[in-house]
Amino acid sequence: MEIGVSGSAVGRDYGRLAVPGTGTRKMVTILFTDLVDSSRLSQALDPEMLWNLLTRYFEEMSAVIHTHGGIVEKYIGDAIMAVFGLPRAHEDDALRAVRAAFGMRDKLNELNAALEKRFGVTLSARTGVNTGEVVALDDPAADQKLATGDAVNVTARLEAAAPANEIYIGEVTYQLVRDAVKAEEVEPLMLKGKSQPVSAYRVVSATGLYGNERRSDTALVGRDAELGALRSAWNTVIATRRAQLVTVIADAGVGKSRLVRELMDRVGADTMLVFGRCLA
């Protein structure tokens, strides 16, 4: 993170951590969605009709994913894996993924009306969303970023555990979106490859918006230098009665807003604070 005060910069970079080769370690949110009982479709439909149906399904779902800023990592049979945070990270990638999952479910409901009329069948899907570190191909020209890591496996397990037409999210995702969605904790899941139960939540709604700030339930840790730079600029303003422009620069999700909020909390008692907020 960099703190720029009138042209100077103080701080450290906690962004990307390079790994050997062309892979980059990144925090992303993964979405897995899979059709339920798809074998029923292959028995009920002619192969060409099934191909047309699935083609339309994939097109509609992919459009929703792209609308929310995600990329389709791969198609696996009749499953879709999407990643939010590649190649560019956003401060709200987890929320984008959850909203995409809801948007896909709504779109599927619309699609089912047309599918039932044309093919005499309807589709149902289950979805898992999870946030964690992955190693991804850092090649802007690559069609697929090839994200790998335990977070991907957990996402697939969450999807497999979800009931039809439900969305399960992992613990980290829940912590990131809890101020903007309504979710109910489910019984901890025993997932394949995990020695301990994994916490999961069923998302009920995702219509909320972040307010001017997110909750800060924990103390700020490891930002003494950055906070000191901000406080120094503030003291200079008070002493000279002249404005200064301070710019905080870092990758999405590192904690820029949290740092600024900490300064505001510390000087707020003696200050009238005026601030604005833009869309992501």
Task: Give one DSSP letter per residue of 178-189, joined into a string.
Answer: TTT-EEEE-PPB
pLDDT digits (tens, 9 = 90+) for 210-232: 544 455 556 777 888 999 999 99
Q: Which of 17-21, 36-40, 97-101, 269-273 has the lowest mean pLDDT?
A: 17-21
Q: Which of 45-49, 79-83, 200-204 has the lowest mean pLDDT?
A: 45-49
Cβ neighbours, 10 Å, residue 55 = 10
**Residue among 132, 210, 134 nearest 171 (CA):** 132
The rounded percent of the chain whose pLDDT value lies above 90 is 41
Chain-centroid distance, C-alpha 134: 13
pLDDT digits (tens, 9 = 90+) for 5-17: 554 433 333 334 4
Q: Which amino acid is at 119?
A: F
Pairing of strands 125-137, 167-170: parallel
Q: Which CATH class is domain 17-205?
A: alpha beta
Chain-centroid distance, C-alpha 177: 9
> Distances from the Cα of 227 to the Cαs of 14, 242, 263, in angstroms?
15, 20, 7
Please determine, for residue 278, whether its predicted confidence score (pLDDT) is greater than 90.
Answer: no
Q: Which residue has the tokens 């200050």?
A: 271
pLDDT digits (tens, 9 = 90+) for 153-192: 999 999 999 999 999 999 999 999 988 888 999 998 888 7
Q: Which amino acid is at 164?
A: A
- Whether 35 contacts 44, CB under 8 Å: no
Q: How confident is the model at residue 18 (pLDDT cuts 50, 70, 90)?
A: very low
Please determine, for residue 200, whether its predicted confidence score (pLDDT) is greater than 60.
Answer: yes
- More confident: 239 or 120: 239
Q: What is the pLDDT of residue 141?
A: 61
3-state secondary structure of 166: coil
Pairing of strands 23-35, 125-137: antiparallel
Q: What is the pLDDT of residue 267?
A: 86
Domain boundaries, the chain: 2-14+214-270, 17-205
Q: What is the mean pLDDT of residues 43-59?
A: 87
**Residue among 112, 220, 214 nearest 164 (CA):** 112
Task: Give the gyration radius of the chain's Cα atoms.
Answer: 22
Q: For residues 185 and 199, what is the distance between their CA atoms, to the nearest angstrom?
A: 8
279: phi then psi, degrees, rounded to nearest 5: -70, 155
Q: What is the pLDDT of residue 130?
A: 96
Q: What is the mean pLDDT of the chain?
A: 83
DSSP state of 128: E
Q: Which residues contact 59 (CB under 8 A, 6 or more apart)?
A: none
